[in-house]
Chain A
């Protein structure tokens, strides 16, 4: 029999090595992040819940120009408040916001890089395949020694899990710009940067936004899973309900997650549709 190839032990050793030598840095970062997160959460909780709900509904109305979406927001968030899940929801929203912002701010530049350079693309794409097919739970384990149990580890694993669509669709959107338009930009003497900013990014914007939309949705789903390593929020409520076999409480938290997901999806989709037809607003 072939001896077992120590894939797992090797990776473990590598992670342990990293933990030993860089965890002081990641722990410091973790502390920083922790305070950032609680600041966002605190800011969101500073407003009275009803005012927050009305303001959010108005914001969705302004962003989507659809009364239906605004009403959905109003009623949905009202139901969450009524079920007594308000604090958990705000905590989840804060986590999703911070994770998404981080994922997008790494993902879009990486996507642009991958679109512009074939070597970058050849390196990034297989890594993305791995990132997307690896079961989400696995990211949770190494996150703990680097960042400790809690929200920062959750954000970290969420960013890794949610980033691929932003990278992929940014890259795709830029590469889908018709070649005759690129040639035209060249023929008029554009620099590579001008071509990117004046032609490729505007044309890729709807695709990029679709990627951001997916990133938000993945972040939301991961934030729920990350409750297992102490992310709290709505996921935490679900987790608690599982451990105590409280079916009702579990569904209540689940419905809360669905409502947040629906609101986020509608808002993002309509933003995307608007950039596609900027004259039809």
Chain B
């Protein structure tokens, strides 16, 4: 496994690109520099590391420089300034021959529009990288067949690309990269041209493959949903510069600025928010061994709530008591909560998505308990709080 280090990489398009640097130092923006000099700022001082075995999703709108950046990594686009290291090797200093060897041995790329060679069969497409590397034909065919089987295209070796659907074509594109067993996969909007359902399948499949292969993957995307699903970390780019780097949770919960927040606002919040992110600490709990109906009722009155979760000595949830039942029990002079406790209550886990929470809460007469792995009460979700949390995110995004 190899990591990638990107240090202060710039890409300026146009003649005499060095002219742009004094202007960049003055803090001028991409548009102004274009207006004054005719130079296009593709990538503006980008630095980050990709750890070995990690998926980093570089995300941004079109024109944000993300595709240019990924091409700087294998020098399909020559960086104007800066350094790229792959596994400690300085890519920016390689001779043309060394660079070709790097592309043959270490990095493989998957393209948005698949870039399959229309005159070659599926097997010959999948084996193209190996052919260039100089792998003997028998071994090449063997490896191409294995790679095609890995992506679910066993039996399609002799088909021509034009005979395949888009999803299948991109599987060939992926197989062509995987056949090389490269340390690094560069995926340029690899799934963007596919329709949403197929895209989802391919994302799942990539994650499943990644469990086994542990490649270092740089994935370019303009789709935040995709970035959140695939990325161990996400790099957000705008106008060629990095706006924010972080885990999907970081990006969602602490958008670095209005640009990121707008991006986040487009995400379907109900899919991204989970029980954990909208639950509250329970205001009070009744302890089965310690509290009687009188104590339970007092706690409810104090917090102005009408029901209370009951936990045992190890803090595990055992049931729920209501205020009315407590009053009735006090009048009867009994004092064991077990007699009035409901035990068939609905609970969810921390990871349950908000979408499902809304459905469950819809006709639930009492609050929803969120349990941790050991069955202890981690928090409580009430309908008002759930909707409030969602509305709040919507508002933040709008305001920004």
Residues on A facing B (Cβ under 8 Å): 180-181, 183-184, 186-191, 194, 198-199, 202-203, 278-279
Contacts and interface: CB of A to CB of B under 8 A. Distances in A.
Contacts of A181: 115, 117
Nearest to A279: B160
Contacts of B76: 183, 186-187
B171 to A, nearest CB: 16
A189 B104 contact: yes
B74 A187 contact: yes
Contacts of B160: 279
Given A188-B176, A198-B131, 19 more contacts: A180-B113, A181-B117, A183-B115, A186-B76, A187-B103, A187-B111, A188-B103, A188-B104, A188-B109, A188-B129, A188-B132, A189-B99, A189-B104, A189-B132, A190-B100, A190-B132, A191-B100, A202-B117, A203-B117
Q: Which 9 A-B pairs have the closest CB atoms?
A: A189-B103, A189-B104, A184-B115, A187-B109, A189-B100, A188-B129, A202-B119, A180-B115, A190-B132
Interface of B: 74, 76, 99-104, 107-109, 111, 113, 115, 117-119, 128-129, 131-133, 160, 176, 180, 186
Nearest to B163: A279
B205 to A, nearest CB: 21
Nearest to A190: B132
B217 to A, nearest CB: 15
Q: Choose among A180, A187, A279 the residue with the greatest number of B CB atoms under 10 Å from its CB.
A: A187
Contacts of A194: 132
Nearest to B129: A188
Contacts of A190: 100, 132
Nearest to B112: A180
Contacts of B74: 187
A184 B131 contact: no
A186 B119 CA distance: 17
A181 B128 CA distance: 12
B131 A203 contact: no
Given A189-B104, A203-B119, A184 B111 contact: yes
8 contacts: A180-B113, A183-B111, A187-B103, A188-B109, A188-B128, A188-B180, A189-B103, A198-B117
Nearest to B113: A180
A194 B134 CA distance: 11
A182 B141 CA distance: 23
Contacts of A186: 76, 103
Nearest to A205: B119
A104 B135 CA distance: 34
B176 to A, nearest CB: 8
A180 B190 CA distance: 13
B143 to A, nearest CB: 14
Taking each of B104, B108, B131, B132, which has the highest tally of chain A beta carbons within 10 Å of its own beta carbon?
B132
A188 B115 CA distance: 12
A104 to B, nearest CB: 21
A267 to B, nearest CB: 22
Contact of A189 (B117, B118, B133, B186): B133
Nearest to A181: B115
